[in-house]
Amino acid sequence: MAKDVIRQKINDAFLRRALKNFAAAYPVARARAFEGLDFEELRGRISAFKQAGLRDLPELVARFTASAEKAGAMVHLCATPEEANRTIHGIIAAKGADFLVKSKAMTSEEIELNHYLEERGVRCLETDLGEWIIQLAGERPSHMVMPAIHKNREDVAELFSRATGRECPPDIPQLVRVARETLRSGFLAGQVGLSGANVAMADSGAIGIITNEGNGRLVTTLPRTHIALIGVEKIVPSLAEALDVIDILPKNATGQKITSYVSFIKGPTGGEGRELHIVLLDNGRLRLAADPDFSEALKCVKCGACANVCPIYEIVGGHVFGHIYVGGIGLVLTPFFHGFDKAEEILKLCIGCKKCNEVCASKIDIEGLIVDLRDKVRKPVGQKFLFGTLMKNRKLFHAALRAAYLAQKPFQGEGGRIRHLPLILNRETANRSLPPIAEKPFRDIAHEDNSKPKTQNSKREKVLFYSGCLADFVFPEMCRDTVTSLETLGYEMSFPQKQTCCGIPARYSGEMEVARDLARINTDVLLEEEADYVVTICPTCTMSLRHDFPKLLSADPAWREKAERLAAKTFNFSELAARKIPPIPPLSKGGAEGGGISVTYHDACHLKRGCGVYEEPRRVLTELVGAEIREMADCDKCCGFGGSYSIKYPEISREVLKNKMENIAATGARTVAVDCPGCKLQIEGGLEAAGAGIAVEHSATLLARRLGACRT
């Protein structure tokens, strides 16, 4: 994605304000809409029947076709966008028509229907207000549900003035009146109407449409010919499944309990001489439904919630974060519907926070699919060397990091932090300072400690410490605090020297074979020594060992079994520490250093959503550290680090970080507690550069201080 386009969107004040306001209001409205309902149970049910439907999709298509034709509709199954466009044009031409009125249909955007028809003399009128605004602007939607969210009233007034030939003031009630008056004549004059559908039922041949504007019903009833353009994945077995989709869609899309209009259409409506043509669009869907790795993308109900909660979408909008379909699922669908050339750049824009997975109406692993798709696009020159040669060779990789310790010295400022890098790299430290690479990594410290005689205690549970690269080479004191804390709590600690990178940087960059090799190396290393647990202080490493290794090595039964054994005993620091609550009495407020403090807590994306861990860190802080937690707004929203993401897209990363720092400052806490070295690096760098005077500490460090205070 061109940097100037990203900067343009970042600097678009209205876009930023509109998206930020919506991002703040949406979770509140959504929570209210789901009150009294079990979202997890509902989306689990939807996921199950959608997945089953994908396995039987050809049969569902055949059943729907037979049922719809029995009800009087004419069904056209079109393999490609070109075939669908030709079919629709043929229907219109057969009626001698040259004017099509349209209700909202994202599938028509997918096949670029308007452009095709207008080239052939058919005028198209979008009657959904947002779609009409976009049509007048000559743009594509920037959101699947709210296509014109990026337009302000001044933009709309200018578009309406140009379209109507009269001055339209930027007053919302007047603009709505202009739209109503202008579109009304279109409804009455429309010769053929076209709609999409939110769901189609195989047993009855009926289709379901939900809208907030009356245009949907007008387009499907006033013209004597109605064309419904529907992706084949929208077909479900019966009304029962359709009602689940209709139930969840408005709640998840806009935070509404129900839309203004819910319509079911079975066969031609309005009496003699009426026609209903149902154009079923394949465009690779049947092939995708049979793909064991990516078929779940077709479970999408097109609610757009993945964009609503995405921190990157909030910064740059849908014209950057998507192609035709936007948001997280848009990144997944684009290569299959429009080709990998259209997806190559946008796939890199996902920061990997998994927020989309958390709200997806059909439990799609959107983030996981995005990461897997990166394996199929072209890689930058030199990337294969970086991951395939440097990172796979532990000794070479660690030697490079040690060399970087010497190279950084000219750029260190007061306190040792790095504030300026040379030439193009300087943008990586803009508005943020970086911690230096440590003179002595933790692995050296651990090696020296292991050489000293130790008293073994067979009654203690043995824990292997997997530190992760960042903590090992940048935050060795954090690693030492981890060992100190867990040993004081009663665990026996060991640091395997042959451990190396968990492979996440390679996997997130699309180098899957390198990631698999690193998974094998670490699996062998961490199973070589008998232990009860493997502990990490980096949630990304936890997620990698616990979830990614079994997936990466699933093709080989022997490796899969080993990876699953490792996964079963891998835990994050806070999980193991929480098992020892309460070994010590809490300090009173205002007590010794490390206890009796007020903190605000930042949930790391990969800890909460990647590993499902969010209660244990708070228990460690309150019941072991003795801290009072002042919860920040959006405590689980990404800080903008994302590993190499903050280097590849520093402008976006910086804007995400600003949101996080605002929320931190609003709590009044002077310490931010984190459970991720990457989050510490990102947040601490931003706060330090801003002169905020707010400390950022890993829970292991706070606990080590607290336990040290108790011992004294």
466 with 511, same domain: the answer is yes
Cα 656 to chain center, whole Å?
Answer: 14
Domain that holds residue 542: 423-578
Instruction: For the chain, give the longest Cα–Cα distance.
Output: 95
683 neighbors 696 (Cβ within 8 angstroms) = yes
| H or E element, residue 672 | strand 671-674
521 with 621, same domain: the answer is no
543 with 647, same domain: the answer is no
Q: 225 pairs with which residues across the strands?
A: 192, 275
Paired sense of beta strands 199-201 and 235-236, if any:
parallel
Position 428 scores a pLDDT of 47
pLDDT tens track for 529-568? 999 999 999 999 999 999 999 999 999 999 999 999 999 9
Indicate the number of domains in the chain: 2
Position 82 scores a pLDDT of 98
The reply to whether 487 falls in a domain is yes
Classified as helix, coil or strand, 264 is strand
Phi and psi for 121 in degrees, rounded to 5?
A: 85, 15
Decide if pLDDT at 653 tops 60.
yes
453 with 572, same domain: the answer is yes
Decide if pLDDT at 206 tops 70.
yes
The reply to whether 609 falls in a domain is yes
The reply to whether 673 falls in a domain is yes
pLDDT tens track for 99-113? 999 999 999 999 999
Q: Among 37, 34, 106, which Cα is nearest to 327's?
A: 106
Position 382 scores a pLDDT of 75
Pick from 177-191, 209-223, 409-423: least confident: 409-423
The reply to whether 380 falls in a domain is no
* CATH number of the domain where residue 647 is located: 3.40.50
504 with 556, same domain: the answer is yes
Cα three-residue angle 536-373-569, rounded to 5 degrees? 20
- Measure the CA–CA gap between 120 and 435, rounded to whole angstroms: 61
Decide if pLDDT at 583 tops 70.
no
Position 424 scores a pLDDT of 41
Decide if pLDDT at 361 tops 70.
yes
Phi and psi for 473 in degrees, rounded to 5?
A: -100, -15
Q: Which residues contact 212 (CB under 8 A, 6 or more apart)?
A: 256, 259, 260, 261
Paired sense of beta strands 261-265 and 491-494, if any:
unpaired
455-477 burial, b at 16+ Cβ within 10 Å, e below that, comes to eeeeeeebbbbbbbbbbbbbbbb
531 with 443, same domain: the answer is yes
The reply to whether 332 falls in a domain is no
Residue ending a domain, choose from 524, 546, 578: 578
Global pTM value: 0.92
Position 386 scores a pLDDT of 77
The reply to whether 569 falls in a domain is yes
530 with 434, same domain: the answer is yes
- Measure the CA–CA gap between 614 and 602, rounded to whole angstroms: 10
- Measure the CA–CA gap between 175 and 177, rounded to whole angstroms: 5
663 with 629, same domain: the answer is yes
Decide if pLDDT at 675 tops 60.
yes
Q: How far is CA 433 from CA 39, 419, 649, in A?
A: 41, 5, 16
DSSP at 123: E
569 with 609, same domain: the answer is no
359 neighbors 308 (Cβ within 8 angstroms) = yes
Pick from 203-217, 593-607, 671-685: least confident: 593-607
Q: Which residues contact 269 (CB under 8 A, 6 or more apart)?
A: 220, 221, 226, 276
pLDDT tens track for 464-514? 999 999 999 999 999 999 999 999 999 999 999 999 999 999 999 999 999
Position 592 scores a pLDDT of 42
523 with 628, same domain: the answer is no
294 neighbors 371 (Cβ within 8 angstroms) = no
- Measure the CA–CA gap between 61 and 286, rounded to whole angstroms: 10
303 neighbors 143 (Cβ within 8 angstroms) = no
DSSP at 418: B
The reply to whether 435 falls in a domain is yes
453 with 574, same domain: the answer is yes
pLDDT band at 459 (very low <50, low <70, confident <90, very high): confident
pLDDT tens track for 586-629? 544 444 444 568 999 999 999 999 999 999 999 999 999 999 99
Position 237 scores a pLDDT of 98
Q: 599 pairs with which residues across the strands?
A: 629
- Measure the CA–CA gap between 453 and 142, rounded to whole angstroms: 64
Mean pLDDT on 104-127: 97
Quote the mean pLDDT of the chain.
92
* C-alpha dihedral sign at 560, 561, 563, 567: positive
Kindly provide the residue ranges of all beta strands, DSSP E only, lying in 459-555, ordered along the sequence: 461-466, 491-494, 533-536
Decide if pLDDT at 150 tops 50.
yes
Decide if pLDDT at 411 tops 70.
no
Position 435 scores a pLDDT of 79
Share of the chain above pLDDT 70, in %: 92
Phi and psi for 529 in degrees, rounded to 5?
A: -100, 130
* C-alpha dihedral sign at 215, 217, 223, 225: positive
Residue ending a domain, choose from 578, 613, 636: 578
Decide if pLDDT at 439 tops 90.
no
Share of the chain above pLDDT 90, in %: 83
pLDDT tens track for 303-353? 999 999 999 999 999 999 999 999 999 999 999 999 999 999 999 999 999
Within 529-638, residue ranges assigned H as helices are: 539-543, 549-552, 557-568, 573-578, 605-608, 615-619
Residue ending a domain, choose from 544, 578, 612: 578
The reply to whether 550 falls in a domain is yes
pLDDT tens track for 218-274? 999 999 999 999 999 999 999 999 999 999 999 999 999 999 999 999 999 877 889
Q: How far is CA 206 from CA 72, 101, 376, in A?
A: 11, 21, 38
pLDDT tens track for 20-33? 999 999 999 999 99
Q: Angle of helix 153-164 relative to helix 172-189, nearest 10 degrees?
A: 40
Q: Among 660, 611, 30, which Cα is nearest to 311's?
A: 660
Position 587 scores a pLDDT of 46
573 with 606, same domain: the answer is no
Kindly provide the residue ranges of all beta strands, DSSP E only, lying in 502-542, ordered along the sequence: 533-536
Q: Among 272, 107, 110, which Cα is nearest to 194's?
A: 107
Q: What share of the chain is helix, strand, coil (3-state, %, to 5)?
A: 55, 10, 35
Mean pLDDT on 643-657: 92
- Amino acid identity for residue 698 in this structure: H
CB atoms within 10 A of CB 414: 6
Structure tokens at 640: 């903008």
Residue position matching structure tokens 């933009």:
155
* CATH number of the domain where residue 476 is located: 1.20.1050
How many residues belong to the chain? 712
